[in-house]
Structure 1
């Protein structure tokens, strides 16, 4: 971890000093970056006071929030409001937030993962092309033979079915 003081646009009257904080980490084994470099560097600029480690941990926490905002924009269509009317856009936003929360819930409970985007869930789980048949008063879902996410889908379904029902 390294830190230095910096004054961007020092010739401007409203120039304020900031801190540049850089964290050096070893790349994840097997990642593409691990082939080319010994270390990966994560840098950010802040004007907040406090200990470097606390600020860096807070910065990483904010990165998770930004991932959720990105997922809202591009996963459930938050970047396009459908109407020119305020009330209609408010209703559309509420529906998008419900869809986003259901996707997060599905990701966390059914898959046991937290970093899966809504777009990935839609591609792997929700966009299932299967055949539903009924025989002897029983429904059966036939999944595609070589579908790469069949195990994930059946595991997710089993986890959701195992949830206790509340009144």
Structure 2
């Protein structure tokens, strides 16, 4: 596959602009455009049933050298290929593939969370649990967005660990409700940001105790 990617001529690369930013799988940074090209590729050549189809490749400039202060002598690219028989144009096929990757991430997030308890022996229970899973997933994503840019793109397990499963205790001194958060908690600032964004019209953020 490396040889197939290297054989793609420079003039074959076409810029592609995504409808929304996607996450670079190597750096975790959001990117909004890249270059794509394709070539013919035969997979499973060591078997009795080789398959020849399209090898669509997305490449993104590696900015790590620029950030390190190195002078770039030639462009360094990171390549992300996928093998498909999709008949769409190259750029549109790449966008479709990225959309599939996004929904697969959502499925993985749900399976790692509430959908891990499915299926049940009762259809109605499965239906109700799936609806509750969708509601909690959306609420958790909204909470992450209100917390910080990092948490907006974090997995559900990370959000549950950072802003949901909090070792706090509730006290009622002088008929007031006080939430005591753990001292030296690394996510106190982010949690306070979430509290402030959600409850700002009614009250202020709690104090770390």
- What TM-score results when the alignment is normalised by the length of structure 2? 0.63
Aligned to 2:38: 3
Residue 175 (structure 2) aligns with: 137
Structure 2 residue 87 is matched with structure 1 residue 52: no
Q: Shift of the alpha carbon at 1:28?
A: 6.0
Distance 1:68 1:17 in 2: 30
RMSD across aligned positions (CA): 2.7
Structure 1: state its 5+ residue gaps.
Answer: 31-37
Aligned pairs for 1:21-60 within 5 A: 21-27=56-62, 29=64, 38-60=76-98
Contact 2:146 2:152 in 1 (8 A): no
In the aligned structure 1, how far is the partner of 2:113 from the partner of 2:64?
A: 29
Q: How many residue pairs get matched? A: 154
Which runs of 5 or more structure 2 residues have no equivalent in the other structure?
1-35, 66-75, 203-209
Assess if the C-alpha contact under 8 Å between 1:110 and 1:160 holds in 2: no
Q: Where is the strand percentage greater, Structure 1 or Structure 2?
A: 2
Which digits, 9 at most, give the CA deviation of each residue in 1:51-108, with x for residues without a partner? 32222122222211111111011022x1331522222222222222222122112122
Query: Does structure 2 retain, via aligned residues, the 8 Å contact 1:82–1:92?
Result: no
Change beyond 3 A, Cα 1:134–1:60? same
For 2:134, what is the secondary structure of its paired residue?
helix
User: TM-score, normalised to structure 1's length?
Assistant: 0.77
Change (3 A) 1:105 1:160: same
Partners of 1:86 and 1:115 in 2: how far apart?
Answer: 33
